[in-house]
Amino acid sequence: MSDEMNHGRSGQEAGFEREDLSSRGIFFFMIGLAIVGVAIYFIIIGMYSFLDKYERSQMATASPLLTSNGAMSRVVTQEYMEQRFKENGVPMLEVNERGQFRDFLLNQENQLNSYGWIDKDAGVAHIPIERAMDLIVQRGLPVYPQSSANASAAASKAPAQKSAAAKQ
């Protein structure tokens, strides 16, 4: 029966592996990994600060009257950009697309539903769209005089006659 348990291995005892990885080794590895990570972080920070200082010292100024410290301290704000772009006539990029689109739609809706002047000197005004539709129903669409209709019909017949003559 003992031979059947060992599956044909006679003289060997069933046991466990005696050489496991100790928890102390794993702990020291993790501590070492953390120390190396922190050291690499500080090396990279130092390298970038050195390269930044080197670039600033080697950078040529636009004017000999201007110092390199003054050139690097300029702050660009939204108001500054709007002023510069409006002076040049260049369109601005949208900063708040949803807000600007909402304001545009509200202005359009307000214009469609209110009275107001388009050109006061010329006497051109706008009226609410509902009122304009009611006026069209009451008065009908404007009708052009017959003479202008005949002229447009004669103009449309002339190209048809030319194409028929060209086919013959």
Query: Which structure tokens are listed for 46?
Result: 């130092």
Q: Report the range of poorest mean pLDDT among 46-60, 84-98, 106-120.
A: 84-98
- What mean pLDDT do residues 110-122 have? 90
Do 125 and 117 touch, CB atoms closer than 8 A? Answer: yes
CA distance 123 to 87: 33
- The angle subtended at Cα 89 by Cα 87 and Cα 92, nearest 5°, is 95
Long-range contacts of 22-25 (CB under 8 A, 24+ apart): none
- Least trusted range by pLDDT, from 50-64, 66-80, 106-120: 66-80
Q: What is the average per-residue pLDDT within 123-130?
A: 90
CA-based nearest residue to 110, from 84, 95, 129, 86: 129
pLDDT at position 153, please?
57
Predicted confidence (pLDDT) at residue 45 exceeds the cutoff of 90: yes
Band of pLDDT at residue 32, cut at 50, 70 and 90: very high
Query: Given this model, what pLDDT does residue 70 score?
Result: 47
Contact 24, 32 (CB under 8 A): no
